[in-house]
């Protein structure tokens, strides 16, 4: 799944920007990720597939969101091991173990700080999770 993540980069105001081509980026006016100096911040990322569909489970959506986040960080010159914090917004906290398992697959050895909270809903009713990440390169 991760190999179909398409990230484009640009530079504005001395910062590097990454775009995943989300339909919301130009409408709302944001970037998937921004690098300023050695800091990379990745905005809330849902687990949407390249074709606009969503995987059926929260665990699979978590894996997909993390693949998009990883691609954005790498496009800006970072690595997964540079991640120092993640924030996860889930629509059903009862599924925390599936989310935690998917998060742990990538971060078990990196061990960033993290937060997981339940929210009523996300920008798309089919989205079950949204994840943010912060990385410090170097």
In this structure, what token pair is assigned to residue 52?
């606009």
In whole angstroms, give the CA distance from residue 136 to residue 73. Answer: 10
What pLDDT does 30 receive?
94
**Edge-to-edge strands, sheet with 8-12:** 8-12, 15-19, 33-36, 39-46, 129-136, 83-90, 113-118
What pLDDT does 72 receive?
97
Which residues is 135 bridged to in the sheet?
A: 40, 83
In whole angstroms, give the CA distance from residue 61 to residue 4. Answer: 15
CA terminus-to-terminus distance, the chain: 28
Question: In which residue are the tokens 């919301």 written?
Answer: 24
Write out the chain's pLDDT in tens, 138 residues: 456 899 999 999 899 999 988 888 899 999 999 999 999 999 999 999 999 999 999 999 999 999 999 999 999 999 999 999 999 999 999 999 999 999 999 999 999 999 999 999 998 999 999 999 999 998
Helix locations, 29-123, DSSP H: 58-75, 96-107
In whole angstroms, give the CA distance from residue 3 to residue 44. Answer: 20
What pLDDT does 22 receive?
84
Question: pTM for the full model?
Answer: 0.94
In whole angstroms, give the CA distance from residue 48 to residue 50. Answer: 7
- Could you give the domains of the chain? 2-136 (3.30.1330.40)
């Amino acid at each position: 799944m991760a190999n179909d993540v398409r990230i484009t980069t640009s530079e504005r105001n001395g910062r590097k920007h990454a775009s995943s081509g989300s339909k919301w980026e130009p409408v709302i006016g944001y970037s998937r990720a921004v690098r300023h100096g050695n800091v990379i911040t990745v905005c809330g990322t849902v687990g949407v597939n390249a074709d606009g569909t969503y995987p059926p489970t929260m665990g699979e959506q978590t894996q997909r969101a993390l693949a998009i986040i990883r691609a954005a960080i790498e496009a800006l010159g970072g690595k997964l091991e540079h991640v120092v914090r993640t924030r996860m917004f889930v629509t059903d906290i009862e599924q925390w173990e599936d989310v935690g398992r998917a998060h742990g697959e990538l971060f078990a050895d990196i061990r960033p700080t993290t937060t997981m909270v339940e929210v009523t809903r996300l920008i798309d009713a089919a989205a079950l999770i949204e994840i943010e990440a912060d990385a410090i390169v170097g």
